[in-house]
Copies of this chain bind each other. A is one copy, B any other.
Amino acid sequence: MTISTLTERALIARLHARVPPPPEWVSIGMGDDAAVLVPERGCHDVVTTDALVEDVHFRRAWSSPRDIGHKALAVNLSDLAAMGATPRAVLLSLALPPDLPLDDFDGLVDGFLTLATTSRMPLVGGNLTRSPGPLVLDVTAIGIARPRRVMTRAGARPGDRLYVTGALGAAAAGLAMLQADHAASPDDEAAAECLRAYRRPAARLRTGAIVARNRVATTCMDLSDGLANGVRQIAEAGGCGAKIDAASIPVHAGALAWSAVRGGDPLTLALSGGEDYELLFTVPPRRCRRFLAAIRQAGEVPVAEIGVCTQGPDVVLVRDGQRTALPVGFSHF
């Protein structure tokens, strides 16, 4: 049974039935022309939008409907995390192929709403439309943050240390496994983590919020487009350079193993693979101790110091004593 057997109204009702009652800050929720939100006193609004398009960002053969719904929200949560914002509300716009099985629709919605609920983020608006092509999930996430605790990409200074959360390259390795039709053995925990990192990324909301609250980082951004792109963006926005120590980059064990099997360079997965929804911070040396205390307080994910911001525009990678330019991450549209 596909969604085309239902009217738009019935499909909307089916979605509504899955949405839990909203918290008190939602004055008017779904079902009207627009939703009305009560602002949090003393906070600014933080807003971001990001889309997942079938056969560009996911394949239905590689991710379950629940995975896809989860990821559509997670990539937006990661943007809020990078600003140090707390989730407030979310809007979901779906363009659905008529042959989408109704079970898949339910799965998409459940994957999305499960993450929204655990993130204390009511779904306050939505739109359902038919798609004559791919399945498209467009999400707008709204967060709140205290004005002087917002973290941006701009503000890195020479001497600031660069830190990343987690281990990198996992999602890229997971995608490579799916592309190669690689059947990981069921007890290969590292491979399973890579697939999970690709299918159901976790946003570092708690880490972002606690670092922001402590005002110990000069910049923060998420690594959705890879570490190399992140370092370049922060250097450019701060008018500085950066020197990255290759040996310090925390490459995920599954990415190392995959590269060993396939003969690639695991560092490429970590630098250019993208889809690691980890956070990149710059921290002045005198604040590093407090930064690390905040990371421990968050208790979400470890960090690794991977380099330092420098004078001048060069963004370099030091590997086995050799300095090379950090990859640009060039990609055709």
| CB proximity to B under 8 Å, residues A64-97 | 78-80, 82-83, 85, 89, 91-93, 95-96
Contact indicator B333/A91 (Cβ below 8 Å): no
B-binding segment of A35-43, A184-192, A240-248, A303-311: A35-43
Contact indicator A91/B4 (Cβ below 8 Å): no
Q: How far does the alpha carbon of A141 sit from the alpha carbon of B37 in the complex, in Å?
A: 13
Q: How far does the alpha carbon of A315 sit from the alpha carbon of B232 in the complex, in Å?
A: 62
Q: How far does the alpha carbon of A53 sit from the alpha carbon of B127 in the complex, in Å?
A: 12
Question: Closest residue to A130 on the B side, CB-wise?
Answer: B56
Question: Number of A residues whose C-beta is below 8 Å from B?
Answer: 74
B-binding segment of A131-139, A170-178, A251-259, A291-299: A131-139
Question: Closest residue to A219 on the B side, CB-wise?
Answer: B32
Determine whether A117 belongs to the interface, using a CB cutoff of 8 Å to chain B. no
Complex interface: chain B residues within 8 A of A318 (CB): none
Contact indicator B133/A32 (Cβ below 8 Å): no
Contact indicator B142/A47 (Cβ below 8 Å): yes
Contact indicator A53/B330 (Cβ below 8 Å): no
Determine whether A54 belongs to the interface, using a CB cutoff of 8 Å to chain B. yes
Determine whether A98 belongs to the interface, using a CB cutoff of 8 Å to chain B. yes
Determine whether A214 belongs to the interface, using a CB cutoff of 8 Å to chain B. no
Closest CB in chain B relative to A166 CB, distance in Å: 17
| CB proximity to B under 8 Å, residues A198-228 | 220-222
Q: How far does the alpha carbon of A89 sit from the alpha carbon of B140 in the complex, in Å?
A: 13
Determine whether A49 belongs to the interface, using a CB cutoff of 8 Å to chain B. yes
B-binding segment of A6-14, A16-24, A263-271, A319-327: A6-14
| A-B CB proximity, top 10 nearest | A133-B133, A34-B48, A138-B138, A33-B82, A140-B140, A33-B79, A37-B45, A49-B91, A39-B39, A55-B132
Q: Jot down 8 A-B pairs with beta carbons below 8 A, ordered by A.
A: A34-B47, A36-B47, A36-B83, A38-B44, A38-B45, A49-B138, A50-B93, A53-B132
Beyond the given pairs A4-B332, A57-B129, 13 more chain A to chain B contacts, judged by CB atoms under 8 angstroms and listed by A's residue number, are A8-B333, A27-B147, A27-B150, A32-B152, A33-B220, A34-B82, A45-B142, A47-B124, A49-B93, A49-B125, A93-B140, A132-B133, A138-B138
